[in-house]
Chain A
Amino acid sequence: MPATTVNATRMELTRIKTRLKTAVRGHKLLKDKRDELMKQFMDVVRENRTMRQQVEESLMRAHSAFTVASALMSPEILEQSILYPKQSVDLDMSFENVMSVNVPKYTFETKNDNSSEIYPYGFAMTSGELDDAVKALSDAFEGMLRLAQIEKTTQLLAEEIEKTRRRVNALEYVKIPEMQENIKYITMKLDENERSATIRLMKVKEMILAQAIEQQQAQDAKALQEMHA
């Protein structure tokens, strides 16, 4: 018995059969999509890992450079030096389509292209260590941007894979078996109906035949009696 009640009619059977066909096709397509997404995902994840490692290392270098700089300078002067940045960044975001997942692609524009013009302070009051720190940070920045892009891509792809995986499983283990069960149930029910109709006809024929024979016999008996009389 199917879990839900279905009408055992020929129309319902045709409907479910078409749906099953669609479901099987959809299942195949989704499975292909999942496999390809996985493939892409693995590449992205590997890159994500290496990028993160690189960025973390370069940021740690920048942090320690800043620590050294702040040890050599008074905090007020340090803060004053970097209070008004010379550099500014404009970020532009476009989208790239990876297996129908929109992943962001960042492009950025800096106000000062020359990397030697990013120091927002005069060199008289500050120590050289601060220059190193700023340089280290500015070197790390491009990596940080790439990391942001790739990490977001990883997350979005992961979400899509999860969704696709769920759909594939729902079709494979729930929807398709359920429809097959329904088809089997309806076919059996229809066959059963057909058999019972045949039997009924046979029974009726038997009854009519018996009646006809009886009538004939009665007629024959009557005729015989008349002959003898």
Chain B
Amino acid sequence: MYSIAVLGDRDSVMGFKVLGLHVYPVDDVDKARSTLHKLARENYAIIYVTEQLAVSLEAEIARYKDNVTPAIILIPGKEGSLNIGMSNISRTVERAIGADVL
């Protein structure tokens, strides 16, 4: 059995607690970084990270890209979508095909 974690600023992630997800509110980047690594080692199959936080964790998130677990998925935080998730898809396409064909 696997669990699902949500990582982000308190206001953005608090609501997910109602759904029974494990919520890890973090405020500063260093804390977020260590929490992310800790979660990746543990039994989490999916880790949702707010885009606002993901901006400063880019290298850490890229590290887990090729692993099957965890899947680190960006979600828009309270302040709205920064379009990083979308542009990441384009980056993935570029990586696979060599050009963004879509």
Contact = CB atoms under 8 A, between A and B. Distances in A.
Interface of A: 38, 41-42, 45-46, 48-49, 52-53, 55-56, 59-60, 62-63, 66-67, 70, 79, 82-83, 85-93, 95, 102, 104, 106, 110-111, 118-120, 133-134, 137-138, 141, 144-145, 147-149, 151-152, 154-159, 161-162, 165
B18 A85 contact: yes
Contacts of B77: 63
A145 B9 CA distance: 21
B69 interface: yes
Interface string B85-102: 110010011011110011
List the 8 shortest-distance A-B pairs measured between CB atoms, nearest first. Answer: A88-B20, A158-B96, A152-B71, A87-B20, A161-B96, A91-B2, A89-B20, A148-B46
B45 A63 contact: no
B37 interface: no
Interface in B35-90: 45-46, 48, 65-66, 68-69, 71, 73, 75-78, 80-81, 85-86, 89
A111 B20 contact: yes
A155 B66 contact: yes
Report which residue of A48, A149, A155 has the largest number of chain B beta carbons within 10 angstroms of its beta carbon: A155
B73 A59 contact: no
Given A111-B20, A118-B19, A151-B71, A91 B76 contact: no
A82 to B, nearest CB: 5
For the residues of B in contact with A, the DSSP-based class is: mixed
Contacts of A110: 20
B18 A134 contact: yes
Interface residues of B, number: 40
Contacts of A95: 68
A99 B58 CA distance: 29
Interface of B: 1-4, 11-12, 14-21, 45-46, 48, 65-66, 68-69, 71, 73, 75-78, 80-81, 85-86, 89, 92-93, 95-98, 101-102
A91 B15 contact: no
A152 B18 contact: no
A102 to B, nearest CB: 7
Given A45-B93, A63-B12, A91-B1, 12 more contacts: A38-B97, A42-B101, A52-B85, A59-B75, A88-B20, A93-B69, A104-B45, A104-B68, A118-B19, A134-B15, A148-B71, A154-B92
24 contacts: A38-B97, A48-B89, A52-B85, A63-B12, A66-B11, A66-B15, A66-B78, A79-B14, A85-B17, A87-B19, A89-B19, A89-B21, A91-B3, A111-B20, A134-B15, A137-B15, A148-B73, A149-B71, A154-B92, A155-B65, A156-B68, A157-B96, A158-B92, A162-B96
